[in-house]
Copies of this chain bind each other. A is one copy, B any other.
Amino acid sequence: MYHLRVAETTGRRLRADAEHNTALILVAAEKVLADDPSASLERIGEAAGLTRATVHRRFSSRSALLEALTEQLNQRYLTALEQARADLGRPLVAFRRLTDVVFELKASHRFAMELSDEQHGCQSGLSPEVAAGLEQVFACMREAGEITATGADWCRHVYLAVLHQVHQLPEDAPDLVACGSSRADLVVRTVVGALGGVPRRP
């Protein structure tokens, strides 16, 4: 994971407690920044039970910390994609599985997800591997006739946008209840509808 040189220029590895603390910092950063994206390193350290100085020792700068957060997110994404790849034969099932896991990511990595979304331009901050993995899922759905949209970026963006909206939908939203209160179900149906409705010409 982060065994080697998080913010160190030397090749020495960190002591066990130090490594544990970097993990604490990442967790705290996610929690605090999700609430206030411009929170200071001081507040992050405090939330981790550490000092601002220590945060600086583990992460050479604020941006280094943010980088670490998105890298962490990309790792979890890859794990989720591997799970989905298992049943790529049934694209809708794979998509549903994927959405389930990504939803947990949204809950635990809200800030990092928005961070990689906000990345300027149309290039999301996602690693190329993750983007490719998502594209594969959508490609299978298209081949299976479940959707008709062809652009990989378009599919991914709509997916993430819908996911975001569903995430912050209140528990008792009528359209959520209509789906058996399963957020993942609502995402799947909405995305499939959005990406499948494109080519119908009136």
Which A residues fall within an 8 A CB radius of B?
122, 149-151, 153-154, 157-158, 161-162, 164-165, 168-170, 173-176, 178-179, 186, 189-200
How many angstroms between the C-alpha atoms of A158 and B190 in the bound complex?
A: 9
Report yes or no: A149 in contact with B175, Cβ–Cβ below 8 A.
yes
Report yes or no: A122 in contact with B197, Cβ–Cβ below 8 A.
no
How many angstroms between the C-alpha atoms of A122 and B166 in the bound complex?
A: 11
Checking B153, B169, B176, B195 against A173 with a beta-carbon cut-off of 8 angstroms, the contacting residue is B153
How many angstroms between the C-alpha atoms of A79 and B12 in the bound complex?
A: 64
How many angstroms between the C-alpha atoms of A157 and B145 in the bound complex?
A: 27
Report yes or no: A186 in contact with B198, Cβ–Cβ below 8 A.
yes
Task: Given A157-B165, A165-B158, A175-B149, answer yes or no on A189-B197 (Cβ-Cβ < 8 Å).
Answer: yes
Report yes or no: A174 in contact with B150, Cβ–Cβ below 8 A.
yes
13 cross-chain CB contacts under 8 A = A122-B170, A153-B169, A154-B169, A157-B169, A161-B162, A161-B164, A178-B198, A189-B197, A190-B194, A190-B198, A191-B194, A193-B198, A194-B194
How many angstroms between the C-alpha atoms of A134 and B174 in the bound complex?
A: 18
Q: A175 CB to closest chain B CB, in angstroms?
A: 5
How many angstroms between the C-alpha atoms of A169 and B154 in the bound complex?
A: 7
Name the B residues within 8 Å of A178 (CB-CB). 150, 198-199
How many angstroms between the C-alpha atoms of A179 and B164 in the bound complex?
A: 25
- Which single residue of chain B is at the shortest CB-CB distance from A164? B161
